[in-house]
């Protein structure tokens, strides 16, 4: 069964994607995996589809592409459809020199940092379902091609302050369950938004008074609960 340590081993060994994206796809993904990537990529089928539809265009544009993982989480979860598996959730950056056009964005010949959110569901020793999100808006700004009004502020996305976003050892199941319940309660709070006041979501019940929130481009970042 694919666990966090074995998953991370494949990701880390093949982090230089310009050289090893094919090996990464073949070692981790099932031939019929359902891979859902945010626009403009769309849905892909299996390890071959991932290689052709995502990695090949990325490598053509950024030949020295590298995957840098800041946070990796893993846990067993059963969705509403009754499908169970080990889920792997990670965030970080894909970085490389932007040499050729990508997704209608003109190359800069400079390093480009692509922020990602990556979610994989594994059954047995293969990933059968994935959801991938890229911060394309940030790419447009970094490339000097932002089409909208300037943002009100700039973004940064530091790794965890304690530099422990990738923990491969055993964890406390009780603490993990408590964390899951907290996150699900927070999501329920988001769903209670009344369309008028952000206070209606009661985020103060879930976050430290001086929390730091790092949002996507266009929304930027925030500190604390004051709005």
**Protein fold of 4-158:** Nuclear Transport Factor 2; Chain: A, (3.10.450)
Residue 220 has pLDDT above 70, yes or no: no
Helix or strand run (H / E) with residue 174:
helix 173-190
pLDDT tens, residue by residue, 145-180: 988 877 666 666 777 777 778 888 888 889 888 988
Q: Lowest-confidence range among 3-7, 112-116, 201-205, 209-213?
A: 209-213
Euclidean distance between CA atoms 117 and 71, whole angstroms: 10
Among candidates 82, 78, 93, which has minimal Cα distance to 180? 78
Residue 135 class from Cβ within 10 Å (0-12 exposed, 13-18 middle, 19+ buried)?
Answer: buried
β-pair type (84-97, 126-134): unpaired
113 strand-pairing partners = 95
Distance of CA 120 to the CA centre of its chain: 10
Dist CA 70 CA 166 (whole Å): 7
Q: What is the pLDDT of residues 22-71, one digit of tens each?
A: 999 999 999 999 999 999 999 999 999 999 999 999 999 999 999 999 99
Q: How far is CA 59 from CA 116, 130, 131, 138, 189, in A?
A: 16, 20, 20, 19, 40
pTM of the model: 0.84
Judge contact between 118 and 28, C-beta under 8 A. no
**What's the pLDDT at 155?**
65
Q: Is 115 exposed, middle or buried (0-12, 13-18, 19+ CB in 10 A)?
A: buried
The per-residue pLDDT of the chain, averaged, comes to 90
**Is the CB of residue 121 less than 8 Å from the CB of residue 86?**
yes
Query: What pLDDT, on the 0 to 100 scale, is given for residue 186?
Result: 94
In which residue ranges of the chain is CATH 3.10.450.50 found?
Answer: 4-158
Which of 65, 60, 218, 70 lies closest to 140 in space, CA to CA? 218
End-to-end Cα spacing for the chain? 46
């Amino acid at each position: 069964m694919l666990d966090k340590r074995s998953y991370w081993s494949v990701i880390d060994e093949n982090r230089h994607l310009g050289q090893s994206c094919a090996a990464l796809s073949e070692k981790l993904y099932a031939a019929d995996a359902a891979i859902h990537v945010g626009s403009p990529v769309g849905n892909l089928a299996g390890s071959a589809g991932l290689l052709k539809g995502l990695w090949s265009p990325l490598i053509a544009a950024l030949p020295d592409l590298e995957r840098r993982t800041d946070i990796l989480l893993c846990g067993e979860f059963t969705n509403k459809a009754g499908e169970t598996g080990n889920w792997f959730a990670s965030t970080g950056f894909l970085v490389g020199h932007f040499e050729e056009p990508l997704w209608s964005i003109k190359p800069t010949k400079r390093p480009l940092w692509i922020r990602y959110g990556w979610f994989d569901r594994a059954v047995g020793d293969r990933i059968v379902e994935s959801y991938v999100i890229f911060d394309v808006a940030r790419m447009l700004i970094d490339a000097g091609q932002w089409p909208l009004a300037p943002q009100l502020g700039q973004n940064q996305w530091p790794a965890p302050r304690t530099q422990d976003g990738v923990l491969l050892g055993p964890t406390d199941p009780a603490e993990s369950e408590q964390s899951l319940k907290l996150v699900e309660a927070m999501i329920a709070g988001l769903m209670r938004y009344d369309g008028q006041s952000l206070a209606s979501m009661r985020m103060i019940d879930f976050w430290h008074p001086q929390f730091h929130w790092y949002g996507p481009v266009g929304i930027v970042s925030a500190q604390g609960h004051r709005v």
